[in-house]
Amino acid sequence: MQITTTTNVTPTRPPSLTRSLQRVVALAAVAGYVEVIGFSDVGGIYPAIMTGNTVQLGLTVVRAQWARCGLLAFAVGLFFLGGIISSLIRRRLRRPPMELLLMAAVLVIAGIIRLHVSWRIPVELPLLALALAMQGETIARFGGVSLQTIVVTNNMVKFSDALVGRYLPERQSANAPEKRPELKEVLLPGMAWLSYSIGAGAGATGAAWLRLPLIIPAVVLVFLVGDLLWSGGGESAG
């Protein structure tokens, strides 16, 4: 006689579209906010937009602007190193969203460091690069849609492609029908793009009017971590 045992496993419920949108908006706005402050503080070098830094790096090599070239190479190397450190941290945490709490702490420290202008390049820039690398490593899927909230270009491509696929479909072959994109595949990358821009504007305003502007994204991250832990996560890296 064969005895079959069953184990009751409660599947993780995927987050609602509204919840995923809230998280995308929060993280993309944080990234734009932090990026603008770092860009302004260190003289036109991005803490995490490696496309822009790499383009400038090639340009400075051709123009033999070696001082600027060294600074750009320093920024690119820092972000790469920050990615490695962030990945190691995430793999050792029982609850990966907690890395966003560490990111919040790093932003607070960077906010204090930036009060000393001479420390902005040697200390603030590495901290901001580490913080944004942490964000990139922690959550990159929202409701089943793969997104990176620390970059814009790929989200713009995904948004435009999903927009055409959902609302401007071509006549399809019966032998190879193309799946119509879901609403979330349109809204999430589109809102990530828009929120990043709004966050950048908010960062410029915060840097002009606040003594410690990096406190604001740190607070946003604390609330987001609470939301992720309370709801059981539902979003993932990768």
Residue 180, CB-side half-sphere exposure with 13 Å CA sphere: 9
Give the C-alpha distances (Å, rounded to integers) separating 47 from 33, 40, 79, 237. Answer: 11, 10, 7, 21
pLDDT score recorded for residue 12: 57
Question: What pLDDT digit, counting tens, does each position of 185-225 carry?
Answer: 999 999 999 999 999 999 999 999 999 999 999 999 999 99
Give the C-alpha distances (Å, rounded to integers) separating 166 from 105, 181, 193. Answer: 41, 5, 18
Mean pLDDT over 31-36 rounds to 98
Residue 32, CB-side half-sphere exposure with 13 Å CA sphere: 21
Question: What pLDDT digit, counting tens, does each position of 83-119 carry?
Answer: 999 999 999 988 888 999 999 999 999 999 999 999 9
Q: How far apart are CA 88 and CA 67, in angstroms?
A: 32
Mean pLDDT over 34-54 rounds to 96
Looking at the DSSP bridge assignments, the partners of residue 146 are 141
Domain boundaries, the chain: 17-169+180-230
